[in-house]
Structure 1
Amino acid sequence: MLMLWACAGVPLGVYNVVEEYNIALRVQPQILTLLSLATWIQCYYYEKKWTVPRALAVVTPVACVLGGIQAALIVALRTARDRHLQWPLTLMAVLSATLLAAGVLRHYWDIYVHRTVRGISFLFVAIDAAGDVFSLASVVFQPTLDMLGIVIYGTELLLWVGVFACAAYYNLVPWAGKKLEAREAARPGLVSPATLCSADLPASSTV
């Protein structure tokens, strides 16, 4: 997920810069890539027990390559736009939306297999979804409304909302049901329906 998001920051940054979005939206993809790479390499540092020099030796060239690709694409797509070619920018929008969505969709596969939402910080999901909301608001208040920008940020937001809905169905509802059953069972003098049914059976009956 993190490497997909790091790569998504490249076409997203190209699109936002070439389309001359406001400064916040131009900077946001760069922060997305840097934070995703930083978190990605920490997985190797903590889980694979990599040393700091080894981790830096891997992540630094990756960051430089992604930054170089973005810079080259910005120059190339500005030239294409001056020549009234729109499809390269559309391709950047599609790539960024696809990569962002792919990072979230891996959680849907895990939910489908295990029938539960696990391994997700809902605080992180809420913060990231809120970022999509504010980015959408920023796109909407641009001088001209850009539908591709809305699609980019709206796609990820809808997928996160879906994760929350799955968590409510698979995690929250069963948890609330167990809590309710435990509270009912703890009531003094309360006899469960199963006990009443067994008491009504004749002594010679077998189940």
Structure 2
Amino acid sequence: MDNRVAENVLGTLGAVCWSIQLLPQIIINYRRHDTEGLQGSMMLLWAVAGVPLGVYNIVEEFNIALRIQPQILTTLSLLTWAQCLYYGKKYRIVKCCVAVTSLLLLLGGIEAGLIFGLRAAKNRGLEWPLILMAVLSASLLAAGVLRHYWDIYVHRTVRGISFIFVGIDAAGDLFSLVSVLFGPPIDVLGIVIYGTELTLWIGIFICGAVYNLRPWIKEHCRQDINVADPLSLHPMPSSTSVFRTASGSRVMERRPWHNSS
């Protein structure tokens, strides 16, 4: 009984995290008026992933939080994708609204049809269609995250993505993974799904520490040294300081000519 309560509580916490995970990203995009580095293809993959995930959770009659969560995931993913179109590709807001509304109606119709079809299949004792839905949703979610790995490889930095969003999503995976472990029959497929995405997010954090945090710390340490002893860096000037010195000397050379005139 205690395991059942823990399973439901952790599962609900995971669903809540997944429901709000994209809100920090949407807010940051709005404040910056920019989505550079954020992968629109990732948001589209996540929007589509909400369909098989919603079908699986509804047909399997999970709690209400897990049934609603995929619908929120699809909606927020499409909203973030619309921001990529508006800020990144400079689409008009009307065009973005039409694109999001059309996709919402299309994906909603596909999900409704699959729910009726898979319920009938389940009543006949067929389990593989539901397993296919779970695998498909997990694959699309993982593919979306892997798309960002390619951007990190190309640019050697984690750009455009909110680490608050990453943390909330990773927490949702962790809560759900532990929830599965509390279940009476341990769901191996669920462990693979949640564990894979959690591992991918941990990798994003590691990349952020290597490509973003470490240079930031070095830069601040260099600034602290410069403030403490302004002359300490003069023996080994950077290339930018050399160019500044050269341009400065040229200006100094021209000043007597102006004065003489």
TM-score range, shorter chain: 0.7 to 0.9
Instruction: Tell me, in whole angstroms, the C-alpha distance in 2 between the residues paired with 1:62 and 1:125.
Output: 25
Q: 1:23 to 1:147 in 2, by over 3 A?
A: farther
Q: Which residue of 2 aligns with 1:50?
A: 92
Q: Which runs of 5+ in 1 are unaligned?
A: 196-207
CA shift at 1:21, angstroms?
Answer: 1.9
**Superposition map of 1:143-182 within 5 A:** 144-182=185-223
Alignment coverage as a number of residue pairs? 193
Q: Equivalent residues in 2 for 1:30-179 (5 A)? A: 30-47=71-88, 48-52=90-94, 54-142=95-183, 144-179=185-220
1-structure distance, mates of 2:102, 2:215: 46
* 1:97–1:151 CA contact under 8 A, matched in 2: no
Q: Deviations over 1:17-55 (max 9, x none)?
A: 222222211111111011111222233334424133x33
List runs of 5+ in structure 2 lacking aligned partners. Answer: 1-41, 237-261
> Deviation at 1:83?
2.4
Q: Displacement, 1:115?
A: 1.6
Quote the residue 1:4 is aligned against: 45
8 Å contact 1:116–1:167 — kept in the other structure?
yes
How far 1:16 sits from its partner (Å)?
1.4
1:184 to 1:51, Cα distance in 2 relative to 1, 3 A: closer
Percent identity, aligned pairs only, is 64
CA–CA separation in structure 1 for the residues paired with 2:211 and 2:96? 37
Measure how far apart 1:139 and its partner are: 3.8
Deviation at 1:144, TM superposition (A): 4.0
Give me the whole-angstrom Cα distance separating, in 2, the residues matched to 1:40 and 1:110.
Answer: 17
Counterparts of 1:14 and 1:182, CA distance in 2: 54
Q: 1:142 to 1:170 in 2, by over 3 A?
A: same
Greater Cα offset, 20-29 or 78-87: 78-87
- Letter aligned with residue 67 of structure 2: R
Residue of structure 1 equivalent to 2:58: 17
Within 2, Cα distance between the matches of 1:155 and 1:191?
A: 48
Shift in alpha-carbon separation, 1:46–1:172, aligned structure 2, 3 A: closer
Shift of 1:63: 0.8
Contact 1:25 1:135 in 2 (8 A): no
One-letter amino acid of the counterpart of residue 18, structure 1: V
Q: Equivalents in 1 of 2:232, 2:103: separation in Å? A: 65
Q: Say which is worse superposed, 145-154 or 113-122, in terms of deviation.
A: 145-154
| Secondary structure class of the residue paired with 1:84 | coil
Q: Deviations over 1:1-22 (max 9, x none)?
A: 1111000001111111222222
The structure, 1 or 2, with the larger RCO (C-alpha pairs under 8 Å, 6+ apart) is 2
Shift of residue 147, structure 1, vs aligned partner = 2.4
Give RMSD over aligned pairs: 2.5
